[in-house]
Amino acid sequence: MAKVNDNYLKLPGSYLFSTIGKKVAAYAAENPDKKIIRLGIGDVTQPLTPTIIQALHSAVDEMADAETFRGYAPDLGYEFLRKAIADNDYVARGCDIAADEIFVSDGAKCDSGNIQEIFSTDNKIAVCDPVYPVYVDTNVMAGRTGEYDPATGNWSDVIYMPCTAENGFAPELPKTVPDIIYLCFPNNPTGATVTKDRLQEWVDYANKNGSVIIYDAAYEAYISEENVPHTIYECEGARTCAIELRSFSKNAGFTGVRLGFTVIPKDLKVDGVSLHSLWARRHGTKYNGAPYIIQRAGEAVYSEQGKKETAGLVAYYMKNASYILNGLKDAGYTVSGGVNAPYIWLKAPNGMTSWEFFDYLLTTANVVGTPGSGFGPSGETYFRLTAFGSYENTVEAVDRLKRL
Ligand X SMILES: Cc1ncc(COP(=O)(O)O)c(C=O)c1O
Binding site for ligand X (CB under 6 A): 42, 107-109, 112, 132, 184, 188, 216, 218, 247, 249, 255, 260
Distance, in Å, from the CA atom of 82 to the CA atom of 97, rounded to the nearest integer, reads 11
Distance, in Å, from the CA atom of 175 to the CA atom of 163, rounded to the nearest integer, reads 15
Q: How far is the CB of 247 from ligand X (least distance, A)?
A: 3
Asked whether the beta carbons of 86 and 101 are under 8 A apart, the reply is: yes
Asked whether the beta carbons of 77 and 99 are under 8 A apart, the reply is: no
Nearest partner of 139 among 164, 122, 163, judged by Cα: 122
Q: How far is the CB of 184 from ligand X (least distance, A)?
A: 5
Nearest partner of 221 among 249, 257, 259, judged by Cα: 249
Distance, in Å, from the CA atom of 55 to the CA atom of 297, rounded to the nearest integer, reads 5
Q: How far is the CB of 342 from ligand X (least distance, A)?
A: 10
Residue 260 or residue 369: which is nearer to ligand X going by CB?
Answer: 260
Q: How far is the CB of 285 from ligand X (least distance, A)?
A: 21
Residue 327 or residue 342: which is nearer to ligand X going by CB?
Answer: 342
Q: Is residue 14 left, alpha or beta, with left meaning phi > 0 and alpha meaning psi from -120 to 50?
A: beta
Q: How far is the CB of 16 from ligand X (least distance, A)?
A: 13
Q: What is the 3-state secondary structure (H, E, C) of 112-174?
A: HHHHHHHCCCCCCEEEEECCCCHHHHHHHHCCCCCCEECCCCEECCCEEEECCCCCCCCCCCC
What is the four-CA torsion angle of 227, 322, 337, 250, rounded to 10 degrees? -80
Residue 114 or residue 224: which is nearer to ligand X going by CB?
Answer: 114
Residue 255 or residue 340: which is nearer to ligand X going by CB?
Answer: 255
Residue 159 or residue 184: which is nearer to ligand X going by CB?
Answer: 184
Residue 382 or residue 401: which is nearer to ligand X going by CB?
Answer: 382
Q: How far is the CB of 331 from ligand X (least distance, A)?
A: 26
Query: CB-hemisphere CA count at 13 Å for 105?
Result: 27
Residue 107 or residue 327: which is nearer to ligand X going by CB?
Answer: 107
Residue 107 or residue 171: which is nearer to ligand X going by CB?
Answer: 107
Q: Is residue 65 left, alpha or beta, with left meaning phi > 0 and alpha meaning psi from -120 to 50?
A: beta
CB atoms within 10 A of CB 390: 13
Q: How far is the CB of 77 from ligand X (least distance, A)?
A: 14
Residue 345, φ and ψ in degrees, nearest 5: -115, 115
> How far, in Å, are 39, 69, 310, 311 from residue 223 at the CA level?
21, 38, 13, 11
Residue 32 or residue 256: which is nearer to ligand X going by CB?
Answer: 256
Q: How far is the CB of 112 from ligand X (least distance, A)?
A: 6
Q: How far is the CB of 261 from ligand X (least distance, A)?
A: 9
Distance, in Å, from the CA atom of 295 to the CA atom of 300, rounded to the nearest integer, reads 9
